[in-house]
Amino acid sequence: MEPTEYVARLRAQASDPGIEEALRRDRTVRRRTFALAAGAGVLLLAGFGFWLSDVTGERPPYEPYAPRALREELWPPEWPYSVDMPFRGSPAGGWADGADGIYVPAAMPSGGLTAENVTAVLEDVRTLLAETNVSERTLVGAEPATALALLDPSGIDDAVREDMVTRFDPEEVYPHETGVRTRGMMTYEVSSAGELVVHADYTFVYPLVRAGQGHEVLPGVPEVARIAVRRRMTLTSRDGKLVLGDYASEVGNHDCSAPKDGYLHPLFAEGRWKAAQAAKGNLVDPYDEKRVLPAGPGHCVTPAWT
């Protein structure tokens, strides 16, 4: 094609009235395509932002997000404990099991008492602690009558006597099969009156599962709550009985607002988190053995962790 003919054709197309309409339609299509692409991008970013906010703080800290993505030992402390790892994050996991943690010191003859005399009293104290705090029957509601019969009933009121026993409502929760964890110490001395005086200070940690259809951390993996109970007492052997002297007790992660019905009522993850929020920083470490307990029974505290 000659250059003059090519130029003439371009001039003819430019003067064609249909050309402007075609260009207008093309611009409209391109603008719509761009708008749709931008809208899709905004929706994608909005969806990502919603997911990101959902997993980084817009949901309660005690609700796990994608728990299967992390091994349970790496879960944040706010997340629920489970039956797979009932002592996750707790030093109590390395403590002795149940009554094995109630150590009896070596008995030595002292103040006119033979080693056998001392051993007998120490074993009675151990029996009292074991039957009232770690016995499977007691934990599910039974009365440890034989153990309590070791106590001299004079000078001990019903409130203290009841407080010395750890029980859970079997219609609410039951102890996890891993059992109780126990740690503490027992010491003794002979008084100026020639009586054996025993000092006991023990902490018991209980993993508990809901008795009914409860919350599952993962499908088929029920949630576990833990309660920590510390008991400090002085017992004097007198006339074949144990006379209770100084006594103090503390329970952590129990529903302090629950009715006093003789049972402990554990707080699961949601209740535990809400109690910590309400405590406004007034939290205690239930594993601090050097912390002095206030005298008296039934001190209900909010633990920093259990």
pLDDT level of residue 29 (50, 70, 90 thresholds): low
Q: Average pLDDT in the 107-113 region?
A: 92
Conformational region of residue 57, where left means phi above 0, alpha means psi within -120 to 50, and beta covers everything else: left
> 127: which residues sit within 8 A by CB, 6+ positions away?
147, 150
Report which DSSP code applies to 105: P
pLDDT, greater one: 11 or 279: 279
What are 35-53's pLDDT values in tens digits?
Answer: 455 444 444 444 444 444 4
Query: Can you give the pLDDT at residue 39?
Result: 47
Q: How confident is the model at residue 280 (pLDDT cuts 50, 70, 90)?
A: confident
Question: What does the pLDDT look like over 53-106, one tens digit per residue?
Answer: 445 557 899 998 888 889 999 999 999 999 999 999 999 999 999 999 999 999
For range 169-189, the mean pLDDT: 97
Predicted confidence at residue 121, as pLDDT, reads 98
**CB–CB of 77/305 below 8 Å?**
yes
146-162 per-position pLDDT tens digit: 999 999 999 899 999 99
The beta strands (E) that lie in 87-220 are given as: 96-97, 173-175, 181-190, 196-210, 216-218
More confident position, 208 or 155: 208
- Can you give the pLDDT at residue 53? 43
Instruction: Report the predicted TM-score, pTM, of the whole model to 2 decimal places.
Output: 0.81
Q: How far is CA 116 from CA 107, 113, 123, 227, in A?
A: 8, 8, 10, 36
